[in-house]
Structure 1
Amino acid sequence: MTTYLPPEVQAGLDAARRLARRKATRLRVEAGERSYPVLRAWDGGFALEAETAPHLRGRVALYDGARLLSHCLIIASEEEEGELRFEYKRITEAHDTQPLDFYRAPDAPIALLGPVREV
């Protein structure tokens, strides 16, 4: 039994595999005004499609759908099998709330209520 596939069939299978990976992830990277879908991500970096992504360097924002996950400093590390891999130099997690410049006690009141006036 042979495992040979004609080049046209192999190219079609590779294209279908890339399309399925692109649709399966919600992660994307924004650099300036441009946005690129992330093929896969790991602790030390992420991979973009080599055909559409430039060799990015510097500050980018990593999103999961519309939610900002982090701001990252990145460098392009290698290109292999149609993927352009990037490594994090620094990653800063995004938070939903503003940081406080003072200590807030866990049992502190949420708001102060004034005297109740009768109408």
Structure 2
Amino acid sequence: MTTYLPKDVRDGLDAARLAELRRKNRLRVMAGGKTWPVLRLWRTGFSVESAVVPALRGLVDVYDGAEHLYQCLIVASGEEGGEMCYEFKRNTAATQTPPLDHFREPNGPVALLPR
């Protein structure tokens, strides 16, 4: 039994797989003021469509719809099956509030009242 598939069949299967990933994913990557769809996201990286997205490098932001998820420092790791894969060098979760520079007591006062 052979596992050889003609090139046009392989290309068709890859195109169908990429179309399915594009259709069902809301994730976006933003770099330099432009956004592109993310095909897959995993713990140590993500992938984008190599034919559509230019080579990314450095600091990017990852969004789920309008929600900012991560600010990441990335490096390209390789291309396979029409997907360009990137690995995180640093992956910081985005928060809605700035970080505190002191410990806030859980039962402490929220504000000071004047006398």
CA–CA distance in structure 1, aligned partners of residues 15 and 54 of structure 2: 19
Equivalent position of 1:53 in the other structure: 53
CA–CA distance in structure 1, aligned partners of residues 98 and 81 of structure 2: 41
CA–CA distance in structure 2, aligned partners of residues 66 and 96 of structure 1: 13
The Cα shift of 1:16 comes to 3.1
Equivalent position of 1:21 in the other structure: 21
Equivalences for 1:71-90 in 2 at 5 Å?
Answer: 71-90=71-90
The Cα shift of 1:61 comes to 0.2
TM-score, normalised on structure 2?
Answer: 0.83
CA–CA distance in structure 1, aligned partners of residues 6 and 98 of structure 2: 57
Identical aligned pairs, as a percentage?
53
Equivalences for 1:1-119 in 2 at 5 Å?
Answer: 11-111=11-111
Q: CA RMSD in A?
A: 2.6
The Cα shift of 1:109 comes to 2.8
TM-score, normalised on structure 1?
Answer: 0.81
1:60-110 C-alpha deviation (Å, 9 max, x unpaired):
001011000111000111011100000111111111222112221111133
CA–CA distance in structure 1, aligned partners of residues 75 and 4 of structure 2: 37
Aligned residue for 1:20, secondary structure, equals helix
**Any stretches of 5+ residues in structure 1 without a counterpart?**
none
Amino acid at match of 2:89: K
**Any stretches of 5+ residues in structure 2 without a counterpart?**
none
* Structure 2 CA distance for partners of 1:89 and 1:7, relative to 1, 3 Å: closer
* Structure 2 CA distance for partners of 1:112 and 1:9, relative to 1, 3 Å: same
Larger deviation: 36-45 or 94-103?
Answer: 94-103
* Structure 2 CA distance for partners of 1:11 and 1:42, relative to 1, 3 Å: same
